[in-house]
Amino acid sequence: MDLPSHVPEQARQYLERASTAQMDGRLDEAITLYKQSIGVYPTAEAHTFLGWAYSMENRLDEAIAECRRAIAVDPDFGNPYNDIGAYLIQLGRIEEAIPWLERAKQAVRYEPRHYPHINLSQIHVMQNDITAAVRELRAAVDLEPEHESARRELHRLLGMLN
């Protein structure tokens, strides 16, 4: 994880342990460790990943709140903007999701940069705007040519236009 250099080592260690726990499916442990990391030194990353852990438990309002805290800590970090957009899509609030995803596309510090394009393409498909969905998927594939599902969806949508 690429944290700013001023983040204390203890906060980094909690964050790394939390990430490992989350990847292993130990969400309760991950949530505790993210909170400990934040307690030592709040970072946009810890708030964003705590939000992701909440989302895995379908606690989407809490996930959105953590992403908002992440943005307050570091408005240049793009992940929480995309994540808020994704959570709003899950909640069926697609119009609300669009500005968050657009902000993610413009973020100074953000990897993987192709995700907001994929999420916006999903919204455009829901709105039956296949041309706009294709545009977003083309951008996603340009940014990440190896993203197989984006390439497959782009091919499928192009077939719908022909």
Torsion angle of the four alpha carbons 14, 21, 72, 87, in this order, in degrees rounded to the nearest 10: 180
Mean pLDDT of the chain: 96
**pLDDT value at position 3?**
82
| Residue-wise pLDDT tens digits, 55-108 | 999 999 999 999 999 999 999 999 999 999 999 999 999 999 999 999 999 999
Given a cut of 80, whether residue 2 has pLDDT beyond it is no
Read off the pLDDT band of 14 (50, 70, 90). Answer: very high
Domains in the chain, please, with CATH?
A: 1-93 (1.25.40.10), 112-162 (no CATH)
